[in-house]
Structure 1
Amino acid sequence: MAETETVKSQDTPFEGGPMDGRVLPVLLGPTGHPPKTYRIPVPDPDDGPPTVYVYRRVPRGHSKRLGLIQGWKYEYDPDDTSGGRLRWPWSKPSGKPGDTQG
């Protein structure tokens, strides 16, 4: 018998920017966490390049006893400098000012 895998999602709140106050179902990765960065492309009405709103995942809160993370939320990041690139631990720094690994 073949078991079907279910795609899991989590209702995640957004803070700041154009999505402030909204809660969206965000797909969870193989680790059970939502992605670190959530990008929302918005088409340009004049057929120009789309505007991309970037949100970063941050802890929603911590438990009192053990300090464990109690869920996630996304905060607006208007100064995104990653350019949508993945950063691997073995990658060389790009050398741009303000560009940090991590």
Structure 2
Amino acid sequence: MSETGAVKKQDTPFEGGPMDGRVLAVLVGPTGNPPKTYRIPVPDAHGGPPTVLVYRREPRGHSKRLGLVQGWKYTYDPEGKRAGGLRLPWSKRDTDPDATPSGKPDDADG
């Protein structure tokens, strides 16, 4: 088996939730950024299913001149829902069926 080289890690702080104030070495991807979500399974003391703590990646700060991201931090997401994703104009997600379609006036005459 061939050697793949050194694995790159980035020390990333965690804010909120049970991991508040801790800094973990998180693996970075090919772009040099840590993953958008970080899930931490916590085993149950009574042998039940593990609780999963969900943290979302946010910029730690921006540079003054160009506004580039200076680093990343993870903030606690207590609901743990899947956020974001690719939103296409034709997708039906998060639409109100009673609402008037965008771009068409509300025609009361029929």
Range class of TM-score, shorter chain: 0.7 to 0.9
Q: Which residue matches 1:31?
A: 31
Cα deviation, residue 48, structure 1: 0.8
RMSD value over aligned CA atoms? 2.6
Q: How does 1:41-56 map to 2 (within 5 A)?
A: 41-56=41-56
**1:39-94 alpha-carbon deviations (Å, 9 max, x no partner):** 00000111111011100000000000000000000000001212xx9x4567x566
Q: Percent identity?
A: 70
Gaps of 5+ in 2: 95-110
Evaluate the alpha carbon distance shift between residue 3 and residue 51 of structure 1 in structure 2; reply closer, same or farther with a 3 A threshold: closer
Instruction: Tell me how far apart the structure 1 counterparts of residues 65 and 42 of structure 2 sit (CA, whole Å).
Output: 42
Could you state the TM-score of these two structures normalised by the residue count of structure 2? 0.73
Aligned length: 94
Could you state the TM-score of these two structures normalised by the residue count of structure 1? 0.79
- What is the letter of the counterpart of residue 75 of structure 2? E
Based on CA coordinates, which of the two structures has the bigger radius of gyration? Answer: 2
Cα deviation, residue 25, structure 1: 0.2
